[in-house]
Amino acid sequence: MRALTISHPLSSSFDNLTFTSRPRPPAPTGTQVLIRVKAVSLNARDVQIASGTYPAPIQVQQGIVAGSDAAGDVVAVGDRVSRVKVGDKVTPVFAQSFLHGEHDPDYQKNGLGGGIDGVLSDYFVCDEAGVVLMPSNLSYTQACCSVITGVTAWHCFSYPGCSLKTGETVLVLGTGGVSIYAAQLALASGCRVIVTSSSDAKLARARDELGVHGTVNYRTHRDWDVEVRKLTGGRGVDHVIEVGGKGTLVRSIRSCRPLGNVWVVGYMSDYAAGKVEGQDDEAHELAKEILYTQARVSGVVCGSRDMFEDMNRCVEVNKIVPVVDRVFPFDEAREAYRYLNSGAHFGKVVIEL
């Protein structure tokens, strides 16, 4: 079978992504399921792992199969499998042992495509506990976009005591995978959504294709938090999907209403070379901003299998379709990585097998 593996030394050129041929996995036993992979979507994490910049405490092994977000068909099952059957359309769970309850840092050790072999291969085998059924309204190319981005966005909006409510206002930073998925979930929940970007073309797409209520170009408006507050009549937003890290966090907090929520899911500005437009020089004011806005700032990782299944029900009922920016064939996987790394995308980048 075909597989894309990660060779050392790790490289930002992505020339270390190696096309290999491996034996097809043997027939599954016990509670194992064998999946014929149809599509894989990429995340910032994939770029970071391949380039050696991923900060999570895992060792990327020589020759590990890349990728974490797949969709495909169950083609064989072990004799004790009861959750799925041959012919089911499924997506694997990102952290294979994170099924219920609270996140444990040890789950990173079995995160697909990092701690263990990933899904960028013709076939993938895992335990039945580590898969969920695809929503019936999605294709393979669309469903594979939900694994990390969708479930992370869902996790942001389902925290006990501060979950998303109809009528609230949500600010999403940028137009990458988590941000766009969060915007779609918020809109489906009857919320107002504001999007930031440095690209007027991307902001136009957010208005025209998604139907967001407000947009702010942070290149045009360096004090973009002021513009966000204007769009809320001075009140501030209820939730921020914060993907920028040190370059945006202070202004995200300033954008909040009192006791608003800042969900930190990434730190993309930390990877930028030199000064970034819209980036704060005032990180030293972080404690002050948290104190006087009383904002709740929480780190959010990809959620559990239970959350994945809850989100899929929402996707199916509301007929949410993840935004796919561009699709690459398997033999152009390196180009897919480079395209994602360029930041030109709006939504998700997918590799079809």
Domain ranges of the chain: 2-148+304-352, 152-299
Q: How sure is the predictor about 276, in pLDDT bands with cuts at 50, 70 and 90?
A: very low
Distance in angstroms (rounded) separating the CA atoms of residues 202 and 228:
17
Report pLDDT for 59: 80
* CATH architecture observed for domain 152-299: 3-Layer(aba) Sandwich (3.40)
Please write the tens of the pLDDT for every residue from 164-196.
Answer: 999 999 999 999 999 999 999 999 999 999 999
Distance of CA 252 to the CA centre of its chain: 19
Q: State the average pLDDT for the chain.
A: 92
Q: How sure is the predictor about 284, in pLDDT bands with cuts at 50, 70 and 90?
A: low
Rg (CA), the chain: 20
CA distances from 244 to 125, 153, 251, 310 (A): 35, 15, 10, 27
Distance in angstroms (rounded) separating the CA atoms of residues 113 and 115:
6
Q: How sure is the predictor about 283, in pLDDT bands with cuts at 50, 70 and 90?
A: low
CA distances from 14 to 118, 148, 273, 332 (A): 17, 21, 18, 12
Q: How sure is the predictor about 83, in pLDDT bands with cuts at 50, 70 and 90?
A: very high
Write down the pTM of the prediction.
0.92
CATH 3.40.720.10 fits domain 2-148+304-352: no
Please write the tens of the pLDDT for every residue from 210-253.
Answer: 999 999 999 999 999 999 999 999 999 999 999 988 889 999 99
Exposure class string for 288-313: b at 16+ Cβ within 10 A, else e = ebbeebebbbeebbbbbbebbeebbe
Average pLDDT over residues 284-292: 75
